[in-house]
Structure 1
């Protein structure tokens, strides 16, 4: 059975989030978006739901934390070049570098914070060499 994941991220500025994620290659799914949330498709099984803070607060029971990282979103990509391409797009679109690139030869990664401070890790790994 194929499953989908919808990662919900709280945003202070919905338009900024839409612009940021579409600059990275996500596709806005307008049928599942409104003034409170935007559905952004990365693949047929991975989506980001950028949700306004007010609406996000209504969906959780233990409050919304804005002090520090609560989750790291990790995404495997197809090559070192694709890691660099997506990371560079993120920085150009308003993200900021989270930490220095990691290069272990068989594994390569870069990270960024989106405009709302959500931590993303991009990585490529040569499974055969690992």
Structure 2
């Protein structure tokens, strides 16, 4: 039987928790105060997907490895879906207006459209819209 997890919590190290929360609030995300404090904030991506934004010092308590500098190397690209091409553009434009950095130019593959940005700590986020009706099985 294949494993099926009910929820995902992506943990990301951040330098300044308050600036990071302000950035993601500007992009349009909300936070769950039940799982947030002065060392971490639980950003709600959807009903089953969350990003735990942890101050670097706190993040370090969960690993023996060195924390990657996301401004100079890429460890992961976090991809989220949007409801339309327009929403992809809206989310990325909000991120750029809030201080995020340009990552990749928009990519239009007909049935799929995506655009990406880097957050304040250099983490790469890709926002994708996929027209499910155009995908042939």
TM-score, normalising length from structure 2?
Answer: 0.89
Pick one of 45, 48, 68 that aligns with 2:48.
45
Shift of 1:61: 2.4
Q: C-alpha distance in 1, partners of 2:122/2:128?
A: 19
Q: Distance in 1 between matches of 2:24 and 2:9?
A: 14
SS in 1 for 2:134: coil
Deviation of 1:108 after TM superposition, in Å, equals: 0.7
Q: Which moved more, 1:59-68 or 1:94-103?
A: 59-68
Match of 1:20 in 2: 23
- How far the C-alpha of 1:127 sits from its partner, in A, is 2.3
| Counterpart Cα distance in 2 of 1:40 and 1:76 | 16
2:74 matched residue in structure 1 = 69
1:79 alignment partner, one of 51, 67, 84: 84
C-alpha distance in 1 between matches for 2:132 and 2:37? 40
- Aligned match for 1:9, one of 7, 12, 16: 12
- How far apart in 1 are the matches of 2:59 and 2:76? 15
Note if contact 1:32-1:39 (Cα within 8 Å) is conserved in structure 2: yes
Report the aligned-residue RMSD: 1.4
> Residue 40 of structure 1 aligns to a residue in which SS?
strand
Number of equivalenced pairs: 130
Report the Cα distance in structure 2 between the residues aligned to 1:27 and 1:65, rounded to whole angstroms. 26
Aligned to 1:123: 128
| Structure 2 portions without partners, runs of 5+ | none
Task: Please report how far the alpha carbon of residue 79 of structure 1 lies from its aligned counterpart in structure 2 after TM superposition.
Answer: 0.7
C-alpha deviation, 1:128, in angstroms = 2.3
Residue deviations 1:81-101, cap 9 Å, x none? 110111111111111110111
